């Protein structure tokens, strides 16, 4: 379900059911006892539970009064600002990591005023810091980080899954994580990143060739997942990230 919700947040991706394509690209509200760290493109809101003896102030009359007051005002705001919103790029929503940056820019299109977009940007900073912290131990990002370190080693042409697993677990342990990944678990993460293994020549182990295609894909994924690029050693260079001498 979490994968379905993540995919449905991207325009143009439909679900096939009973021979028909269903478009699920629309706003969704998801309620739960805790936030799911596996959901992307979301804004998290915490609501304090209401005491059992506490009566709701939102009776039918109050709801109707709120509707009569605010719906016309919201409609007028839309009519007055629709052209400027339509032409807005929201490029001033910055310093946020993906996928939260995409959420901020989508919301930023709703505000014609630069000041409001700046306020929204600042309000999302705390959630962005949490996303960055979780990404340090998120398995997919750590696997990608390990691949980047290994592919920047001088004269390194390939790597086995076992070598990637060893470095991944070292990174996780250094960050206080007690859960280690198996070779199969690392292989599953590689597959989810669309980085496919093959049987390396001269051996029985499966691994990854650091050819131009895979190197380019790894660097692009590093940008998407906000994974820092490792520094190359002196005397070497990386054409994909422009580092080195």
Per-residue confidence band for 97, with pLDDT thresholds at 50, 70 and 90: confident
pLDDT band at 76 (very low <50, low <70, confident <90, very high): very high
Task: Name the least confident of 146-155, 213-222, 226-235.
Answer: 226-235
Spatial distance between the Cα atoms of 113 and 148, rounded to a whole number of angstroms: 40
Question: What are the residue ranges spanned by the domains of the chain?
Answer: 1-31, 63-133, 136-244
Q: Which CATH number fits domain 136-244: 1.10.1200, 1.10.10, 1.10.443, 1.25.10?
A: 1.10.10
Q: What is the pLDDT of residue 45?
A: 78
Q: What is the pLDDT of residue 236?
A: 65
For the cut 90, the answer to whether the pLDDT of residue 192 exceeds it is no
pLDDT classification of 146: cutoffs 50, 70, 90: very high
Query: How confident is the model at residue 244, as a pLDDT?
Result: 45
Reduced 3-state DSSP string for the chain: CHHHHHHCCCCCCEEEECCEEEECCCCCCCCCCCCCCCCCCCCCCCCCCCCCCCCCCCCHHHHHHHHHHHHHHHHHHHHHHHHHHHHCCCCCCCCCCCCHHHHHHHHHCCCCCHHHHHHHHHHCHHHHHHHHHHHCCCHHHHHHHHHHHHHCCCCCCEEEHHHHHHHHHHHHHHCCCCCCCCHHHHHHHHHHCCCCCEECCCCCCEEEECCHHHHHHHHHHHHHHCCCCCCCCCCCEECCCCEEC
Strand partners, 238: 243
Q: Hey, which of 2-6, 39-43, 109-113, 213-217 has the most confident mean pLDDT?
A: 213-217
The chain-wide mean pLDDT, for the chain, equals 81
Q: What is the pLDDT of residue 232?
A: 67
Q: What is the pLDDT of residue 54?
A: 67
Least confident segment among 86-100, 128-142, 216-230: 86-100
Predicted TM-score (pTM) of the model is 0.57
């Amino acid at each position: 379900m979490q994968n379905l919700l993540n995919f449905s947040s991207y325009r143009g991706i439909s679900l096939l059911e009973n021979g028909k394509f269903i478009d699920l690209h629309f706003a969704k509200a998801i309620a739960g006892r805790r936030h799911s760290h596996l959901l992307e493109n979301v804004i998290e809101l915490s609501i304090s539970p209401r005491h059992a003896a506490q009566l709701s102030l939102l009776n039918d009359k109050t709801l109707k009064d709120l509707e009569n007051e605010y719906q016309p005002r919201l409609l007028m705001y839309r009519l007055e600002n629709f052209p400027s919103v339509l032409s807005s790029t929201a490029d001033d929503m910055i310093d946020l990591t993906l996928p939260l940056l995409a959420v901020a820019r989508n919301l930023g299109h709703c505000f014609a005023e630069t000041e409001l977009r700046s306020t929204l940007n600042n309000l999302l900073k705390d959630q962005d810091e949490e996303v960055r912290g979780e990404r340090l131990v998120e398995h997919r990002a750590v696997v990608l980080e390990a691949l980047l370190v290994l592919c920047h080693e001088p004269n390194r042409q390939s790597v086995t899954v076992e070598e990637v697993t060893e470095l991944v677990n070292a990174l996780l342990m250094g960050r206080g994580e007690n859960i280690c990944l198996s070779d199969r678990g690392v292989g599953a993460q590689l597959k989810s990143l669309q980085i496919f293994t093959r049987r390396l020549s001269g051996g029985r182990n499966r691994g990854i060739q650091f050819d131009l295609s895979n190197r380019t894909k790894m660097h692009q994924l590093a940008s998407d997942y906000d994974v820092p690029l490792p520094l190359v050693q002196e005397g070497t260079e990386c054409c994909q990230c422009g580092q080195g001498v």
